[in-house]
């Protein structure tokens, strides 16, 4: 039995992860952490399980095998050191994590012997999408690349972490690292750049398109998420993979999926 705690338990993704964990025969939801400002701390989220605020995180992590963090970058910076000190492996699906935290986490994991999975997107399809981006960029290094991402009107960050990861993959393969965020006015001829475009409207779950354009042809690679369950189900794949692992390393979903 894998004991799982979720930080960000009342968010869109966190609530789905909590519900799915409760449905698994090999998992048990042992903790739910919520923000101090949301008013849910101390309330029953599920029968026999009360939500706790950030102050309760050390005790929650001491009693779980894996902490799933689907909060915000600012909250994750506080949460991850607490989880590691308590002896819990971590699965993190929060975008915008600072490079300093990622570097520190590498060191902390090596010292603790624990394991982590960190990804901007849990979706199995998105991770295959990134692999396909790498293949296309490697085969078409001189093609011009534009990335368009679409999300619901309440998403706070732009571009999305998934779009940024796609841009990083393309840049690594082509050597084109200049990102241009939208265009307006007399911008002149296109240079050696990757165009980044963010759309926010309605209840769009998530859509990403990477276009590779040559002079007489183009390839458009698109991933569309129909439901947030795709992310929650991928999260559980990561939980199962990292549970019981003690290799002192930070892993990616690419490793989890064997890509």
Note whether 136 and 174 are same-domain residues. yes
Same domain, 25 and 107: yes
How many CB atoms are located within 10 Å of the residue 198 CB?
Answer: 17
User: Which structure tokens are listed for 239?
Assistant: 């939980």
- Taking the C-alpha atoms of residue 70 and residue 115, their distance in angstroms, rounded to an integer, is 17
Verify that 111 and 193 share a domain, yes or no. no
Q: Are residues 25 and 118 in the same domain?
A: yes
| Tens of pLDDT, residues 42-85 | 788 888 898 888 899 999 999 999 999 999 888 888 899 999 99
Q: What is the CATH number of the domain that holds 15?
A: 3.40.50.720
For residue 29, the cross-strand partners are: 4
Number of domains in the chain: 2
Q: Tell me the two tokens of residue 148.
A: 């368009």
Taking all residues of the chain, what is their mean pLDDT, rounded to a whole number? Answer: 93
Mean pLDDT of 150-170: 94
Poorest-confidence range of 87-101, 149-163, 182-196? 87-101
Both 112 and 233 in one domain: the answer is yes
Contact call for residues 163 and 181 (beta carbons, < 8 A) = no
- Average the pLDDT over 94-116 and give the result: 86
* Beta-strand pair 116-118/194-200: unpaired
The pLDDT tens digits of the residues spanning 7-42 come to 999 999 999 999 999 999 999 999 999 987 776 777
**Per-residue model confidence (pLDDT) at position 177:** 95
pLDDT of residue 39: 67
Does one domain contain both 213 and 133? yes
113 with 14, same domain: the answer is: yes
CATH number at 208 reads 3.30.360.10
Instruction: State the pairing for strand pair 206-213/66-69.
Output: unpaired
Share above pLDDT 90 across residues of the chain, in percent, rounded to a whole number:
79
- What are the DSSP calls for 137-205, one per residue? HHH-TTSEEEEEEEE-TT--SSS-HHHHHHHHHHHHHH----EEE---SS--S--S-EEEEEEE-TT--
The owner of tokens 């698994």 is 24
Instruction: Output the CA angle 189-212-151, nearest 5 degrees.
Output: 95
Q: Give the active site residues.
A: 151, 155
Q: What is the pLDDT of residue 213?
A: 98
Burial of 191 (0-12, 13-18, 19+ CB in 10 A): exposed
Specify whether 22 is located in the same domain as 54: yes
Structural domain including 8 reads: 2-122+229-256
- Indicate whether 7 and 117 sit together in one domain: yes
The model's pLDDT over 75-103, given as tens digits with 9 standing for 90+, comes to 888 899 999 999 999 999 987 788 887 88
pLDDT-derived band at 131 (thresholds 50, 70, 90) equals very high
CA distances from 169 to 130, 145, 182 (A): 7, 12, 19
């Amino acid at each position: 039995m894998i004991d799982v705690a979720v930080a960000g338990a009342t968010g869109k993704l966190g609530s789905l992860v909590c519900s799915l964990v409760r449905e698994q025969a090999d998992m048990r939801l042992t903790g739910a952490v919520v923000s101090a400002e949301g008013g849910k701390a101390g309330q029953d989220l599920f029968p026999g399980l009360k939500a706790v605020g950030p102050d309760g995180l050390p005790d929650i992590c001491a009693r779980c095998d894996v902490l799933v963090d689907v909060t915000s970058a600012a909250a994750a910076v506080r949460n991850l050191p607490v989880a590691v000190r308590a002896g819990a492996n971590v699965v993190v699906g929060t975008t915008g994590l600072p490079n300093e935290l990622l570097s520190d986490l590498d060191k902390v994991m090596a010292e603790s012997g624990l394991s982590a999975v960190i990804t901007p997107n849990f979706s199995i399809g998105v991770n295959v999408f990134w692999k396909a981006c790498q293949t296309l960029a490697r085969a078409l290094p001189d093609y011009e690349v534009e990335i368009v991402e679409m999300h619901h009107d309440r998403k706070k960050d732009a571009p999305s972490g998934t779009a940024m990861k796609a841009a990083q993959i393309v840049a690594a393969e082509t050597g084109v690292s200049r990102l241009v965020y939208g265009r307006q006015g007399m911008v002149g001829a296109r240079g050696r750049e990757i165009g980044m475009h963010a759309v926010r409207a309605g209840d769009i779950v998530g859509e990403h398109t990477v276009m590779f354009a040559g002079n007489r042809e183009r390839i458009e690679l698109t991933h569309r998420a129909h439901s947030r369950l795709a992310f929650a189900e991928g999260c559980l794949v990561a939980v199962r993979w990292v549970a019981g692992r003690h290799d002192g390393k930070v892993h990616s979903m690419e490793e989890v999926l064997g890509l």
